[in-house]
């Protein structure tokens, strides 16, 4: 946790310096598009992980690309910001396990060593679980201390998210007899096709910290390893175009 905090503090200092430099230059022309785009970059963590779900820090990451349309609530400092977008999520397994069907034909997926199952003679370099979603944010409320110039004020937002699994696959990078390759297995792998959760953002101007938690389990009922109901959360930074 101390390592994560140190990294985020360094990113904050770098971004703050960039904002100060930008204020001294003339603002570039920006098309008058209603609403704003938002980019999230964060790191994932599984809660209640099944056995052998040994994840790495840097490889377990999320990139969100969202669009929001703010609606001012009367003359208050609050806005209602419905939105939608795409989420690209990865979990890196540092023990080089991967997801595969159980041999009994039950339809379950289990975590197995990639070198001992799908690639018996290979040396495994990297193993990942990749899941890509289309997300809807039907509810988000945001508070700005300076509604006339939100790029300079403190803000806080809270919302709910529902996501629909578009595509998922496992990815194994390996070497076999001196030849490197990448093995991809595109199927649902027991993942929950729908996720839902809550999130919050807090920051100044165009820069925010965010935290997202999924109440829905990562794996579908009676489909994932050990039949566990692993939940996931993501912590990271946001940059918006307000």
Residues 174-199 have pLDDT tens digits of 998 888 999 999 999 999 999 999 99
Q: Which residues have CB under 8 Å from 132's CB, separation 6+?
A: 86, 87, 88, 89, 165, 166, 167, 168
Query: What is the predicted pLDDT for the residue at 16?
Result: 47
Query: What is the predicted pLDDT for the residue at 27?
Result: 47
Strand ranges for 114-178 from DSSP E? 123-144, 154-176
Predicted confidence (pLDDT) per residue in 75-117, tens digit = 999 999 999 999 999 999 999 999 988 766 666 899 999 987 7
- In 3D, which of 82, 176, 193, 180 has the Cα closest to residue 133? 193
Helices vs. strands in the chain: H and E counts, helices first: 1, 13
Q: Which residue has the tokens 């039907």?
A: 138
Query: What is the predicted pLDDT for the residue at 223?
Result: 87
The 10 Å Cβ neighbour count of residue 134 is: 13
- Answer for the pair 110, 99: CB distance below 8 angstroms, yes or no: yes
- Answer for the pair 223, 187: CB distance below 8 angstroms, yes or no: no
Q: From the first residue on, what is the mean pLDDT of each consecutive set of 10 residues in the chain (242 residues)?
A: 52 49 48 84 96 94 97 95 98 94 77 85 92 97 92 94 97 89 93 97 95 96 85 96 77
Query: What is the predicted pLDDT for the residue at 25?
Result: 46
Q: Cα separation of 122 and 177, whole Å?
A: 8
């Amino acid at each position: 946790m101390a390592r994560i905090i140190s990294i985020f503090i360094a990113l904050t200092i770098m971004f703050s310096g960039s904002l100060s430099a930008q204020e001294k230059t003339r603002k570039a022309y920006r098309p008058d598009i209603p609403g704003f785009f938002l980019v999230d970059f964060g790191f994932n963590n599984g809660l209640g992980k099944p056995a052998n779900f040994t994840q790495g820090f840097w490889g377990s990451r999320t990139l969100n690309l969202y669009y929001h349309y703010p609606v001012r609530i009367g003359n208050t400092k609050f806005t209602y910001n419905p939105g939608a977008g795409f989420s690209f999520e990865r979990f890196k397994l540092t023990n080089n396990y991967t997801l595969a069907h159980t041999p009994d034909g039950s339809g379950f997926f289990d975590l197995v060593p990639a070198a001992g199952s799908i690639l018996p003679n290979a040396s495994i370099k990297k193993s990942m679980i990749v899941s890509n979603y289309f997300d809807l944010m039907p509810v988000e409320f945001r508070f700005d201390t300076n509604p006339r110039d939100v790029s300079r004020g403190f803000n806080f937002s809270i919302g709910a998210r529902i996501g629909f699994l578009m595509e998922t696959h496992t990815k194994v990078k390996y070497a076999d007899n001196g030849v490197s390759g990448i093995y991809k297995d595109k199927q649902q792998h027991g993942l929950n096709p729908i996720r839902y959760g809550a999130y919050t953002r807090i920051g100044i101007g165009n820069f925010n910290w965010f935290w997202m938690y999924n109440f829905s389990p990562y794996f579908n009922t009676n489909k994932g390893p050990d039949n566990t109901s692993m939940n996931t959360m993501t912590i990271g930074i946001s940059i918006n175009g307000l």
